[in-house]
Structure 1
Amino acid sequence: MSKNLLWEIGTEELPARFINPALESLKNLAEKRLKDIGLSFDEIKTAGTFRRLTLFVKNLAEKQKDKEEEILGPSIKVGLDKNGNFTKAVVGFAKKYGVKPEDLIIKKTPKGEYFCLKRILKGQRTVEILPNLLLDILKNIYFPKTMRWGNYKFRFARPIRWMLCLYGEEIIPLEVANIKSSNKFKGHRFLSEKSLFLSQASWTEYERLLEENYVIVDPQKRLLKTKEEILKAGKKVGIPEIESDLLEENANLVEYPFPIVGHFPEEFLSLPEPLIITALKEHQRYFCLRNSEGKLINYFIAVNNNLPKNPEIVKKGHEKVTKARLEDAKFYFEKDLQEPLENKVEKLKGIVYHIRCGTLWDKTQRLVELGKYLAQKLNYISSKIEEACFYAKADLASEVVKEFTSLQGIMGSIYAEYFGKKEIALAICEQYLPSPQYEKLPETKEGIVLSLADKIDHLCALFGAGEKPTGEADPYGLRRAAYGIIKILIGKEISLDLEDPLNYNLELLTKQNFLREKEILPEIINFIKKRLEGEFLSQGFNKNLVSVIIDLPLNPFDSYLRIKALKDFQERQDFIDLIIGFKRVAQILKNINLKELPEINPSLFEQKEEKELFNKINDLRPHLKELLGKKDYTNYLEKLLSLKETIDAFFDKVFVMVEEEKLRSNRLKLLAKTAELFNNFGDFTALI
């Protein structure tokens, strides 16, 4: 038999960003705890708003399954005396568990025969288990921050105000911070005055009752309803610009959406679009609208959590606040335009980048030098790369970016255009690509170099200052920087050995006296390689293929070409021949110190198969070297495959590990030279 479990935790208003992680945590905790104690169920789902978190378990078993338990006692040798009578050891063991020695069975184990008690453990009833289990879950729900209230020691994201907890028709007794569970709960704070009542744990009835009382408890349904209402409200004046993150935030700020359309003075449309949108989005969480031609219009949509008695008054309130926000934005923007970019760059001397890495001015100097270095490495001919690096961080000293930090780069691009530096404007914006929101890569040469330089310097400066990521914590976004470098190099098909620019950047930090950890380069390289490994795995390359190329010098695009060629080759029928050929060579060299082997002496060859293998690898070597230079890795693998017959013939006719040392060493060196051709591509031992 089974019954449904329905548990709603009613709270004071939770921050919107807390809700989704809390619901995910609640679901995972419930699933794990129930499985751990052996309570079966059909389905678990969670739902919630900023005033409630809800757990529903469908068809939760009424009791744990009975378990058969075996407890080993003394061995036969210890448990029986010479006459075959029970010893005190067996009698004591049986007495401990309330049985007679005669009730014990003999169990054979790898260590011998032992007395054993076999018994059935009756499962507990679910109603007896749930109070402690649910309280344990409640204490462990994840929130970014928790608080205490009153004189209670219990911590939660916000004070708990009610709890609905039903298992079937039975109320599960819970008490937290003087709040006791019941079969009652609440609807909308303003639109539902009465307490709601539920006679049994029915999700359908629970959801229906809430919706009748202006609460859409399912986050996905509430999000879709919010979107639907926004589109409906904006239809008369324009097309709402609905960003997914803003929509989700609004959906988690309401229990039932009531959008209102407002407008602002048309004069503000003279401001840059990103500034208008950000001012309304970040401060007010409003949606902007566009006309049919895609042009921003002077209207916005605010989503309310209440049905206003007088919509006009509410609308005017939103409009008043919007006008004030845009006036602030206009003031900051116009003030920024009153001084040239050079002045803003000068101000970077007073802005700390990191206490151990200097100011943004210091970083700018490094970007300029590293940008020139990278441009030379990549053969990029552009007189504007140095200029782009110099003005890259100028907008961080602007009034607008101080107020709206998410506009860094965007405002820099706008200011560069305004002050006649159009050729570097896009690059200043592109330095932050790819971003968490946009996978788009920089397109201009200046943007590519600036983005790489910015990320390389960020890694070197922070690692050099001892600010390395630990576990999940990465407050400076170093993983994101590493992934950004990898994605740019692979996505833009740029072959760049990263060790040189990393080392050059560390030298720049040393000259500025900001490098505290002198031998940090290998650690940075390994850090980026870990991200490269993750990138390849996410692209569908299996772990073994990644292992073949991951220990090569750090060149993400080159590694990508190799692993792609290897994956394509892996799908061919003769791929196994390539691996078998290498395997025979690798196995015999496994425990040999190759550095101690003398050079090959052809005069020591006794078999024609030795000469054939020697000639074959010598003939192949220049061709393979040329293919490596061209990065033609598919043909490189084809050439390696041609060694298979020669290697097989060698092992069929030649005994390598002969007693005569010179002959043995000569043959081992020949195999080592053969293996070298494989190793120039990657570590094929990962495939055997």
Structure 2
Amino acid sequence: MTAQNLLVELFVEELPPKALKKLGDAFATVLADQLKAQGLASADAVVTAFASPRRLAAHVTGLLGRAADKAVSQKLMPVSVGLDASGQPTPALLKRLGALGADATAVAGLKRAPDGKAEALFFESVAPGVELAAGLQKALDESLAKLPIPKVMSYQLETDCELPGWSSVNFVRPAHGLVALHGSSVVPVKALGLTSGNSTQGHRFEAAVSPVVLKDADSYAATLLKDGAVIASFAERRAEIVRQLAAAAAKVGGGCKPIEDDALLDEVTALVERPNVLICAFEPQFLGVPQECLILTMKANQKYFPLLDAAGKLTNQFLVVSNISPSDASAVIGGNERVVRPRLADAKFFFDQDRKKTLASRVEGLGKVVYHNKLGTQGERTERVRAIAEWVAAKIGADVEQAGRAATLAKADLLTDMVGEFPELQGIMGGYYARHDGEHADVAAAIADQYQLQRDHTNAANLISMTLDIADRVETLVGIWGIGLKPTGEKDPFALRRHALTLINRFELLGLASSLGAGHMQLQLSSLLDFAKQQFKPGLISAEVCTELTEFIYDRCQNRLVATFKQRVEVADAVVSMRPPLHDISARIQAVEKFSKLPEAPALAAANKRIGNILKKSEGDVAATVNEAVLIEPAEKDLFAAMQTTVPAANAKFDAGDYTASLQSLAALRAPVDAFFDGVMVNADDPALKANRLGLLKQLHDAMNRVADLSRLVA
């Protein structure tokens, strides 16, 4: 058989929609990889995956009918073991050859080759290439075994000659058909109790013929579309839905656009075989309900696409992706409108009922909601967050009373009917209810922002939002970490890594606001962690929690700089290793990057490393004091004189927050530093002279490392 394209399709009952794309990609990828590994397909063979609600398929180009024969060299044993002193084969060698299907006549053809310190015997043979049927069977078995099936089901085969009614199969869904075509020829393979053929099924209701007979591998997609009314490609079906959604929105007019949601789009693509987008509507009276509630119920429960107007407001029209295309779609439209109405009515009922009680009246009920069996109730947690929020507010210049009020009410919407039905709306509904209750606008915004900010790490609506977010996260970090539930490996069930990264972001935003004249930044990580720890019952939180969390947060910061912002590892290490205030890190990184590009930077960084090593090896702590009268060498006098002007200037720039200018000021020290190490013996025999020179280096080291540890810029 010559090289031809291959098509394999497994026809099944409706597959789980959220897993369909992954299943389709995995089926095609593993199948092709196995065929390539067996030499039936070339390394550059093109693989096309197909996945629809009722089928997984793969098209692979250039499949051979039989793989090429392969030369095989097998190591047998050392020569000293395989041949005796007279060169005759030993029983051990003959036994090994027999296992390979050879006999004593093969001894003369054995190859000798070095193997480490000894010489070994090798048996060379030619392994016949695998036939396509056998190779495809192996590849198909492997592909099915490695499918990322979310949940396996067991079902009985329809017929079994040996044990009728007793043979069962475990798979994601019952399988009813198997196609395997090499060009136009059927490849005889079996899977899940099925035997391969050249026919499949099309659309449940709209296929032109049944079964759909496939002429050859290359006509698969076109034949399914023409005779089966199925768009087999997941990507093409998705693109068609996007096109139809845009066309339907344009037909509605008014600048309307369907809501953007890739997860919903993927799920709907996995629910239909040939999409047909229809325009539906609901009663305008429901628009009085917060649009987040309506959007969520339409997306989550009905898989509809709500339409937003040009201003981003929800309209009373929505789009349905139907799996049928009747000439008169009124019945389909009417049916979907009837289905969505009770859902929207429920949302309106919940909203109306919830507003009959204020958020403040629900706070007491949080004392009956368990937060964690060791950390107490949501009520206790609310008190801790409130205390932290008020403390943070005082540090960053926010309104302390409003911060405390926002923290007190933040979790109260957990007890509302709407959040009970739609947990995804927690915080959002709290914001609506707070505004309805007449709470301050910043308080309501902070309540609404608390979960939104978890998804958007770049902005906070106001200082009260920022305060509540910091308090909530640091309470979580200290509490969860403090009772021993630290992240391990890839496991982080309480998302402490995400909390740490967002906390870092909050400090950066506050530092930016401070630099722009929005007040002085007084919030420090160490004091924040310590205050948060004090809000828990004595003895509940581990004593080391603040130290451990500090290291954890700075580690996350360094990883983030390298992974997210593509910062050079040595630059990130130089800054973060100094454990500077979190809000200063970004400015210091920029300063070190600019400094590292100066021609003087490599020499100064190397000198800094040398100084650090000298100071480490000295006995006891070195005092940063210098007696000018003890300076005797010209080079040390010159360095001391240069430092008298350069270091104060660098310190002044540092104190003013101009880290770039501070580091660049130090560039003037390169020449005197180089001259010092060329002409001065630091470890002099005279103890007073040695101590004075060490003091000079200590002063220089302290001045050079205020912004970052410059020694880390060199290997």
Shared fold (TM-score greater than 0.5)? yes
Q: Which among 404, 407, 410 is matched to residue 386 of structure 1? A: 404
What letter is aligned with 1:59?
A: G
What corresponds to 2:464 in structure 1? Answer: 446
Distance 1:35 1:270, change over 3 A: same
Worse-matched range after superposition: 193-202 or 62-71:
62-71
Contact residue 106 and residue 113 of structure 1 kept, 8 A: no
Mapped to 1, the partners of 2:109 and 2:356 lie a distance apart of: 96
Contact residue 45 and residue 57 of structure 1 kept, 8 A: yes
Worse-matched range after superposition: 662-671 or 206-215:
662-671
Mapped to 2, the partners of 1:376 and 1:400 lie a distance apart of: 34
Mapped to 2, the partners of 1:471 and 1:165 lie a distance apart of: 43
In the TM superposition, residue 617 of structure 1 has moved relative to its aligned partner by: 4.8
2:70 is aligned with 1:66: yes
What corresponds to 1:540 in structure 2? Answer: 566
Structure 2: which 5+ residue stretches go unaligned? 157-165, 513-520
Mapped to 1, the partners of 2:95 and 2:616 lie a distance apart of: 54
Describe how 1:177-326 pairs up with structure 2 within 5 A: 177-192=192-207, 194-202=210-218, 205-212=219-226, 213-238=228-253, 239-245=256-262, 246-291=264-309, 295-308=313-326, 311-326=329-344
What corresponds to 2:518 in structure 1? Answer: none
1:479 aligns to what SS in structure 2? Answer: helix
Describe how 1:182-581 pairs up with structure 2 within 5 A: 182-192=197-207, 194-202=210-218, 205-212=219-226, 213-238=228-253, 239-245=256-262, 246-291=264-309, 295-308=313-326, 311-421=329-439, 422-436=441-455, 438=456, 440-491=458-509, 493=511, 496-511=523-538, 515=541, 517-536=542-561, 537-553=563-579, 555-581=581-607
What corresponds to 2:163 in structure 1? Answer: none
Contact residue 333 and residue 400 of structure 1 kept, 8 A: yes
CA deviation map 1:508-534 (0-9, x unaligned): 1235x753x443334433433343233
Distance 1:544 1:158, change over 3 A: farther
Distance 1:686 1:174, change over 3 A: farther
Distance 1:68 1:28, change over 3 A: same
In the TM superposition, residue 651 of structure 1 has moved relative to its aligned partner by: 2.1
Contact residue 349 and residue 360 of structure 1 kept, 8 A: yes
Contact residue 257 and residue 305 of structure 1 kept, 8 A: yes
Mapped to 1, the partners of 2:431 and 2:530 lie a distance apart of: 30
2:584 aligns to what SS in structure 1? Answer: helix
What letter is aligned with 1:114?
A: E
CA RMSD between the two structures: 3.5
Contact residue 262 and residue 315 of structure 1 kept, 8 A: yes
2:145 is aligned with 1:149: no
Mapped to 2, the partners of 1:101 and 1:290 lie a distance apart of: 82
Worse-matched range after superposition: 47-56 or 463-472:
463-472
CA deviation map 1:88-120 (0-9, x unaligned): 5996699577575654555456x5452352736
- The normalised TM-score by structure 1 is 0.87
2:501 aligns to what SS in structure 1? Answer: helix
What corresponds to 1:53 in structure 2? Answer: 56
Distance 1:35 1:481, change over 3 A: farther
Contact residue 433 and residue 440 of structure 1 kept, 8 A: no
CA deviation map 1:403-423 (0-9, x unaligned): 112211211111111111123
Q: Which among 643, 647, 656 is matched to residue 630 of structure 1? A: 656
Mapped to 2, the partners of 1:620 and 1:599 lie a distance apart of: 16
CA deviation map 1:307-348 (0-9, x unaligned): 246532222221222211111111111111111111122222
Distance 1:546 1:293, change over 3 A: closer
What letter is aligned with 2:276?
A: F
2:278 aligns to what SS in structure 1? Answer: strand
Contact residue 499 and residue 554 of structure 1 kept, 8 A: no
What is the total number of aligned residue pairs between the two structures?
679
Mapped to 2, the partners of 1:26 and 1:665 lie a distance apart of: 73
In the TM superposition, residue 133 of structure 1 has moved relative to its aligned partner by: 2.7
Mapped to 2, the partners of 1:103 and 1:298 lie a distance apart of: 85
Worse-matched range after superposition: 46-55 or 374-383:
374-383
Mapped to 2, the partners of 1:630 and 1:116 lie a distance apart of: 77
Contact residue 73 and residue 93 of structure 1 kept, 8 A: no
What corresponds to 2:9 in structure 1? Answer: 8
Worse-matched range after superposition: 212-221 or 66-75:
66-75
In the TM superposition, residue 124 of structure 1 has moved relative to its aligned partner by: 3.1
Distance 1:302 1:452, change over 3 A: same
What corresponds to 1:22 in structure 2? Answer: 23
Worse-matched range after superposition: 420-429 or 325-334:
420-429
Mapped to 1, the partners of 2:73 and 2:453 lie a distance apart of: 57
2:553 aligns to what SS in structure 1? Answer: helix
Mapped to 2, the partners of 1:618 and 1:268 lie a distance apart of: 75
What letter is aligned with 2:48?
A: K
2:252 aligns to what SS in structure 1? Answer: coil
Describe how 1:648-687 pairs up with structure 2 within 5 A: 648-656=674-682, 667=693, 670-671=696-697, 673-683=699-709, 684-685=711-712, 687=714
Contact residue 154 and residue 177 of structure 1 kept, 8 A: yes
